[in-house]
Amino acid sequence: MDLDIQDIIIAIDGYSSTGKSSFAKLIAKELGFLYLDSGALYRGVTLLVLENGWYNGDRIDTDKLVPALNALDLHFEDHGKGVRTYMGARCIERQIRSMKVSALVSPVAAIPEVRRYVDRRLHELARNRRVVMDGRDIGTTVFPDAELKIFMTADKKVRAQRRMDELIAKGEPVEFQEILDNLEQRDYIDSHRVASPLRQAPDALVLDNTNMTFEQQMDWLEGILKARFAR
Ligand code: DC
């Protein structure tokens, strides 16, 4: 599709496991955009906390974490098998998707200094590019001027089932109830935290994909892009 615009940001926000990242990756592939996964950066910071023992089961040691953010090199690399998250030279894609990281990521993402770190990285990585980004506050806080904002939602049980299928496919078997509990907890923390909570931007288009295939979602998006930006 020929777009009449040089740099364009598509901001996708929404609840956990609504298929934001799968949809964003598809958009990147079909339209040749750069995909930035902001959740992966929060997960990378969480991995740093866990591996250094800065979480004692009760509180996160921000006195240790905050100064360490200055030297933290989280970025994305694609060596032909899709985009992977890196911490310096080390690929951390598998580790950041574990249940251990999922269980702690929302409290880590609620720390204002961590949010500032991730926002800064996203701005650096997005400069002068056509980018699709997914997260919780991309359209509201990180890129409030994004050309297109999408807010994704889907039925909670459908979301939990999708997440379970993903984890099983990776050989990490978990109980349906554990996933549903984790989703509900994250929905709550993500939308009630003080620092840029998950909210729908007033100018975001809502996409409820409970009963939609990827193809249908892509058709929906292409219709919008054509109407707004096609030459
Ligand atoms: O999309 P995800 O499940 O990988 O995101 C992991 C966590 O990071 C999620 O529970 C909330 C947080 N997050 C956030 O607070 N802001 C973003 N822009 C992206 C993710």
Ligand 1: does its nearest atom lie under 6 Å from the Cβ of 193? no
Of 6-10, 34-38, 112-116, the poorest mean pLDDT is in: 6-10
What is the percent of the chain where pLDDT is above 90? 78
Ligand 1: does its nearest atom lie under 6 Å from the Cβ of 121? no
For the CA of 106, the closest atom of ligand 1 is 10
Sheet containing strand 148-153, strands side by side: 34-37, 131-135, 9-14, 148-153, 205-208
**Distance between Cα 111 and ligand 1 center (Å):** 12
Q: Which residue of 105, 115, 183, 192 sits with most ligand 1 atoms within 8 Å of its CB, as the best mutation to test the pocket?
A: 105
Position 172 scores a pLDDT of 82
Calculate mean pLDDT across residues 95-113: 94
**Distance between Cα 80 and ligand 1 center (Å):** 25
Rounded Cα distance, 167 and 174, in Å: 7
- Report the CATH number of the 9-228 domain: 3.40.50.300
Residue 195 DSSP class: S
For all residues of the chain together, what is the average pLDDT? 93
**Distance between Cα 175 and ligand 1 center (Å):** 22
Which residue lies with its CA nearest to atom 15 of ligand 1? 109
Position 91 scores a pLDDT of 97
Q: Which residue of 35, 37, 38, 151 sits with most ligand 1 atoms within 8 Å of its CB, as the best mutation to test the pocket?
A: 38
**Distance between Cα 141 and ligand 1 center (Å):** 14
Is residue 92's pLDDT more than 90? yes
> What is the total residue count of the chain?
231
3-state DSSP call for residue 223? helix
Displacement of CA 5 from its chain's centroid (Å): 25
What is the percent of the chain where pLDDT is above 70? 99
Is residue 78's pLDDT more than 90? no
Structure confidence at residue 52 as a pLDDT band (50, 70, 90) = very high
Position 128 scores a pLDDT of 85
pLDDT tens, position by position, 126-185: 988 899 999 999 999 999 999 999 999 999 999 999 999 988 998 888 899 999 999 999
**Distance between Cα 109 and ligand 1 center (Å):** 7
Position 81 scores a pLDDT of 83
Position 22 scores a pLDDT of 92
* pTM (predicted TM-score): 0.86
Is residue 1's pLDDT more than 80? no
Is residue 9's pLDDT more than 90? yes
Which residue lies with its CA nearest to atom 5 of ligand 1? 39
Query: What are the DSSP calls for 42-111, one per residue?
Result: HHHHHHHHHHTT-B-SS-B-HHHHHHHGGG--EEEEESSS-EEEEETTEE-HHHHTSHHHHHHHHHHHTS
Ligand 1: does its nearest atom lie under 6 Å from the Cβ of 105? yes
Position 60 scores a pLDDT of 98
pLDDT tens, position by position, 181-219: 999 998 998 899 888 888 899 999 999 999 999 999 999
